[in-house]
Amino acid sequence: MAESDNPARLWWGLSIVLLAFALRGWNLHATGYTADEVSELLDARRPYADIIADRDDDLFPPLYRLTLATWNRMWGDERAARWLNVVLGVATVGVMLRIGALSLGEAKQNWPALVLAISPFHIHFCREGRAYALFVLLAAVAWWRTLEVIREGKWWNWLSCGVAMAAAIWAHWYAAPLMVLLWLAAVIVSGPRDGWRPAALGTLAAALLLAPAPLILLQALRDLQHEKLYAKADAEAVGYLYFAQAAGFTVGPSMIELRSIPAKEGIKQMAPWLGVVGLACVPLFALGLGQFADRRIRTLTLVALLAVVPAFALLDCFTGNSFVFRYYAWLTIPYAVALGAGAARPGWVGKAALILLVGVAGCAWWNKLYDARYAEEDARAVVALLNERGSPERPVLVASDYMRQALEYFSEPQRFKSFPIRTDRQAEIPARVNAFVGALPSGAAYWIVSQWLPEDDGRYAIRERVLKELGAKFVTQENQFLIYEAQVR
């Protein structure tokens, strides 16, 4: 591209970044926090030493929580938490400009950034206060630095690459498979060409930064719940992850609907959208294969996009683990590069496919914000509904301590009591339920609140048994919360 065209390319890139900000930040607090977001906020209030030592009951490394704690304390307002992820997501689009330049050439650098900017999958994780926006940003930085090593394996490129890889793993343990792939690609290309000293320096930097990781991971594994809370790894789950790159989780049947029906019925209902997404993505993917500036970068992109997730899903099948979509949030990086390469190719086919992709993304974005069918957990809305239907003083019994703390965040804590629905804590249920009911006068009405659970979830039967024993009657569903009413007998 001629030098005189550079200002236009610069303004186009800036416009893409502004678009990314608008799509991630628009009406950001229209819904209240989910239970997971409240948990992050509460844990971020802890002293830094406790955060670093991972003194909680989740499986996450501490980097995001340290970042969130610093951010919230800097602003003095926990409502800033979601804005942190908006900023991180927009920064990722900025990094994608450099990835595009190194993958396709500077004249085509904006196309992958555009695909990422409109990605409903990426937008989803940039609008909630959890670790995934930071996870994807650092994975993108590691990808960028790997491409720099492939281009020129100098020691400073290797050093920055090693630091970025370690940081990505400190953001989420599931960054490790991608980081291993990037490291192998960098070593295979750079080692024979530039000597092994730069590679050794980068590897040593990553190893030193990750040295404490095994101890923290072992601590997290001791707290791990051995319950099947998510769908198993199978072809349908993997396919839906790839579908979600273009459509997010808000076109076709909702996640609740999909987990309530057989897989064949879900595919049948999803078929029209699968066809539309296929018409957009398949041409872009095919056209993009010839647009890469370096065949080694093309190979890296294709392996990351098409091989890593299926391989780990197969491993999950043998180990019996669940398949969690968000653990592979980094997949949006090779997705954006591959489809952006197709959009960069001249001709009407690629541009028509891109327009179709934009249309799908627009539907997904609109549905996420404005269609109640796809509503996520919203503890604030549940508390407001309980207050409207009763009095703010009416007691509430919550199925699970985890969900209770989300409701308490938006109301008076003394109003709420809870009982565990984990299979390893069933023995606690009678005493805790009896203590709650025994403290109320005869005939007193109270609410029972639970998150929606599929029937194959181990917690479902536990909750249903308690509801039956208390004579609870279903009242309504508010987003992904179920509300029941009962009286003291």
pLDDT for position 4: 42
Q: Which of 5-14, 54-63, 168-177, 465-474 has the lowest mean pLDDT?
A: 54-63
CA 474 – CA 489 distance, rounded (Å): 17
Flag whether pLDDT at 474 surpasses 80. Answer: yes
Q: What is the pTM of this model?
A: 0.94
Nearest to 452 by CA among 228, 253, 244, 257: 257
Q: What is the pLDDT of residues 304-329, one digit of tens each?
A: 999 999 998 888 777 667 788 899 99
> Which is more confidently placed, 328 or 412?
328
Torsion angle of C-alpha atoms 473, 476, 478, 480, degrees rounded to 10: 60
Q: Is the pLDDT of residue 249 over 70?
A: yes
Confidence bin at 110 (pLDDT 50/70/90)? very high
State which amino acid sits at residue 405.
Answer: Q
List C-alpha distances in Å: 65 to 46, 244, 291, 407.
10, 26, 39, 21
CA angle 345–347–352, rounded 5-degree value: 95
Express each pLDDT in 449-466 by its tens digit.
999 998 888 899 999 999
Eight-class DSSP state of 62: S
- Please check the confidence at residue 1 and state whether its pLDDT lies above 50: no
What's the CA gap between 238 and 242, in Å, rounded? 7
At 481 the three-state DSSP class reads strand
Is residue 228 scored above 60 in pLDDT?
no
- Looking at the chain, the whole-number percentage of residues with pLDDT higher than 90 is 79
Tell me the pLDDT band of 215, cut-offs 50, 70 and 90: confident
487: left (phi over 0), alpha (psi -120 to 50) or beta: beta
Alpha-carbon gap, residue 123 to 117, rounded angstroms: 8
pLDDT score of 229 more than 90 = no
28-87 pLDDT, tens digit each: 999 999 999 999 999 999 999 888 877 766 778 999 999 999 999 999 999 999 999 999
Position 223 scores a pLDDT of 62
